[in-house]
Structure 1
Amino acid sequence: MELLQLQYFQTVARLQHMTKAAEELQIAQPSLSKTIARLEEDLGVPLFDRHGRQIRLNPFGKTFLARVERAFLELNEGRREIKDLAGLHEGTITLAVTIPRILPELLGSFLAQYPNVRIRQRIESTSSMTRQLESGNIDLCISSAAPEGPDIEWKPLITEEIFLLIPPGHRLSGSQSIPLREVKDEPFITMNAGYGFRNLTDGFCREAGFTPNIAFEGDQPDIIGSLVRQGLGVAFVPALSASGVTPSPERLRITSPVCQRTIGMAWSKRRYLSLAAQRLQQFIVDYFQQMPGHSVGQ
């Protein structure tokens, strides 16, 4: 069994069309057909069901394809690891976040120590992060909800309090703290559904016995403070983000339910982390440990 046979099989399996596969591989169709036939002969079973010119993966083919794709994944990860160890390219890291507020200081400090490292930064929803980690499109992610997956590793970094922002002149202005049910009839300004922070705050409202009346939802946290200042509603804001809202609307502590979130870092155990990504991984851990009032969720 040769690597070229497996590459040809993978292409035919993806397209399920011999002529199209031959065109993509830039080989003659008879040669491709003979290669697939030899592979089936080596395995002792057919990999495709054939009906005239149409071909479809059969159960043998589907099982074998899963193994072939896993083998190619390991080979690609090995190639990345060797290049990294040999120093054949500068370190490049792809980092995804759901909390962009922390990025300028964190990445600025890291790049000051490692100026030759390049970082690609993305803002993603938690559900998207899982897919991106598993596919290898991102190396690390920082989020307020743990991406779920059998190969995803999650490390809690810090637990922070979540406050309520209110507009100037609001009826609750001057209050130090309130139970969340006090604002059950208020319009809320929130992140889009699907973001970890939105799922979290919707849960707080359910605990308080109501469903929030959503007046505005978006994917840019910086806009939320501005809309609150304009009197368009109230909004949840985590402690780390509250310091970035300028000028800052009045914020209230929520006495019940307990409103907190744990920020963590995730990566795929199946994917090789470059030396640069490993440096950033440790840097992120150290960065959050040095924060005032640092508290890691258990």
Structure 2
Amino acid sequence: MELLQLKYFRTVARLEHMTRAAEQLHIAQPALSRMISRLEEDLGVPLFDRANRQIRLNAFGKAFLVKVESALSSLEEGKKEVLDMAGLERGIVSIATNALNRLSPAVKAFRERFPDVSFRIKQIAPAETYSIGELLEQGTADLGFGPMSLHKPGIREFPVLQTEVFLAVPHGHRLEHQSSITLEHVADDPFIEYKIGHPFRQVNDEISRRAGIQRTIICEVEEPAALGSLVQAGLGIAFVPGCKGDEVTPFTLLPIEGPDQRRAYFVSWNETRYLSEAARQFQHFLGEYYAGKQE
């Protein structure tokens, strides 16, 4: 039984799909199938039920997966401890995020201070924010970063950034030169919005509800860049977060009058797993970095 077999088995077991597992592992499917078959021969029992070219983890496989997950997690934590003994400059930070555009400047600033620290970043689709918590539970990621609290047992988190929400209007908009606006002034304007399920959509819906307006949404997007591009093109207006030090935008950001409108970004981690020195340092750095953006 080899370590590589266990890693491959874990991926196949999680996906229950040989083709997708092979693609994720960057290995030919026949080679992956042979490796799983050899593992089953070594164990003397089948780990999957196979029917009509589909595979399902059976009772043997489920029991074995628990032990494999534990063993691989212990080995990964051991690797982190050894790297810590070699010093912070040899560290690796693994982070899962659905807000890469907001996180990237902080990563850049941290690497300027610690240039030899490596990052492994897993970008999560906004509609799959829940998977950040799963990656933390599995030990696949050291830290999570995003605009929503995870609310999961064993996962600790704290807010590192509060961004004010502005109304983004294209240049030439009738309200472009206002010092601030109320949302009643734009109740009939077309809005660019995130798709349902996106964490920002939930925040924006609540802002509109409190203001007593019902937006006319003409387009739904998944990424901030797409939203900004459509506002810039003059197709509509949108809610956009901003904070001190942000780059100049190709549209106008108007402060919204009324109750304070803010979005919180959280850093999260699994308190039951070993957190490397590099990850702990980056965790603290995020608090320091974003504090300077809120003065």
Letter in 1 for 2:115: P
- Return the alpha-carbon distance in structure 1 between the equivalents of residues 201 and 57 of structure 2: 43
Q: Which residue number in structure 1 is paired with residue 108 of structure 2? A: 108
- Return the alpha-carbon distance in structure 1 between the equivalents of residues 162 and 285 of structure 2: 18
- Return the alpha-carbon distance in structure 2 between the equivalents of residues 177 and 56 of structure 1: 58
Distance 1:22 1:211, change over 3 A: same
Does the alignment pair 1:186 with 2:186?
no
Distance 1:240 1:113, change over 3 A: same
Secondary structure, aligned partner of 1:119:
strand
Q: Which residue number in structure 1 is paired with residue 257 of structure 2? A: 255
Does the alignment pair 1:237 with 2:236?
no
| Pairing partner for 1:214 from 197, 214, 217 | 217
Does the alignment pair 1:24 with 2:24?
no
- What's the CA shift string for 1:66-91, capped at 9, x where partnerless? 86466436533543344324439942
- What's the CA shift string for 1:36-94, capped at 9, x where partnerless? 7xxxxxxxxxxxxxxxxxx9966xx7996686466436533543344324439942222
Q: Which residue number in structure 2 is paired with residue 49 of structure 1? A: none
Letter in 1 for 2:228: G
- Return the alpha-carbon distance in structure 2 between the equivalents of residues 129 and 279 of structure 1: 20
Does the alignment pair 1:156 with 2:145?
no
Letter in 1 for 2:106: L
Q: What is the TM-score with the length of structure 2 in the denominator?
A: 0.71
Does the alignment pair 1:129 with 2:132?
yes
Identity of aligned residues (%): 29
- What's the CA shift string for 1:139-187, capped at 9, x where partnerless? 2222121123112211111322111011233233333223323323222
| Pairing partner for 1:274 from 269, 273, 276 | 276
- Return the alpha-carbon distance in structure 2 between the equivalents of residues 282 and 242 of structure 1: 20
Q: Which residue number in structure 2 is paired with residue 43 of structure 1? A: none
Letter in 2 for 1:216: C
Q: Select between 189-198 and 278-287 the one with higher mean Cα deviation.
A: 189-198
Q: 1:179·1:257 contact (CA, 8 Å) conserved in 2?
A: no
Letter in 2 for 1:189: I
Q: Which residue number in structure 2 is paired with residue 173 of structure 1? A: 176
Q: What is the TM-score with the length of structure 1 in the denominator?
A: 0.71
Secondary structure, aligned partner of 2:240:
strand
- Return the alpha-carbon distance in structure 1 between the equivalents of residues 209 and 131 of structure 2: 25
Q: 1:80·1:272 contact (CA, 8 Å) conserved in 2?
A: no
Letter in 1 for 2:237: V
The count of corresponding residues between Structure 1 and Structure 2 is 263
Task: Kindly state the Cα deviation for residue 242 of structure 1 after the two structures are TM-superposed.
Answer: 8.9
Q: Which residue number in structure 1 is paired with residue 142 of structure 2? A: 139
Name stretches of at least 5 consecutive residues in structure 1 with no aligned partner.
16-20, 37-54, 294-298
Q: Select between 259-268 and 220-229 the one with higher mean Cα deviation.
A: 220-229
Does the alignment pair 1:80 with 2:79?
yes
RMSD: 3.9
- Return the alpha-carbon distance in structure 2 between the equivalents of residues 122 and 27 of structure 1: 29
Secondary structure, aligned partner of 2:230:
helix
- Return the alpha-carbon distance in structure 2 between the equivalents of residues 65 and 103 of structure 1: 37
